[in-house]
Amino acid sequence: MRKKILVGAVFVAMVTIAFLCWQLRYPDGWDRIQLGMPRQEVYALAGPPTVDMADIKGAFWYQQKTILFLELQVYFEADKVAGFYVTQYIGTDQHFVYKRMLRDSLAQTDAPSGL
């Protein structure tokens, strides 16, 4: 009897871990975006943006999962990537934690003052 309970608990733990790993992944195309990449190449990797704010030179992609909301923000200068990052929101609409993963940014290199 104890062995069946242990096997069941291990199975539930493995399924839970697999589910969480799947939930925490963001789309593969998001991982291939690089500084200096042309806007059209970004769109080819990430698909059409959820929100395209050309007036602030930015585009945003959102993906909703069961317990997770993912956001990709890409900022352009002269139609080339100037900076981007991915944010994970875990929880509900009212109660959540977030983790911003800075993927790349001009702020890390030669950003002009004021950026």
User: For residue 109, what pLDDT is reported?
Assistant: 43
Between 68 and 22, the more confident residue is 68
Domain with 78, as residue range(s), is: 27-108
The Cα–Cα gap between 37 and 79 comes to 8
In a domain, 115, yes or no: no
Domain count, the chain: 1
Domain of residue 45, CATH code: 3.30.1450
For 101, counting Cβ atoms within 10 Å of its Cβ (0-12 exposed, 13-18 middle, 19+ buried), the class is exposed
Angle 68-69-75 from CA coordinates, rounded to 5°: 145
Per-residue pLDDT reduced to its tens digit, 27-83: 778 888 989 999 999 999 999 998 887 667 889 998 887 777 888 999 999 889 998
User: For residue 28, what pLDDT is reported?
Assistant: 79
CB–CB of 48/69 below 8 Å? no
In a domain, 2, yes or no: no
User: For residue 42, what pLDDT is reported?
Assistant: 92
In a domain, 7, yes or no: no
Per-residue pLDDT reduced to its tens digit, 69-106: 888 999 999 889 998 888 888 876 666 676 776 555 44
Pairing verdict, β 58-64 and 51-53: antiparallel
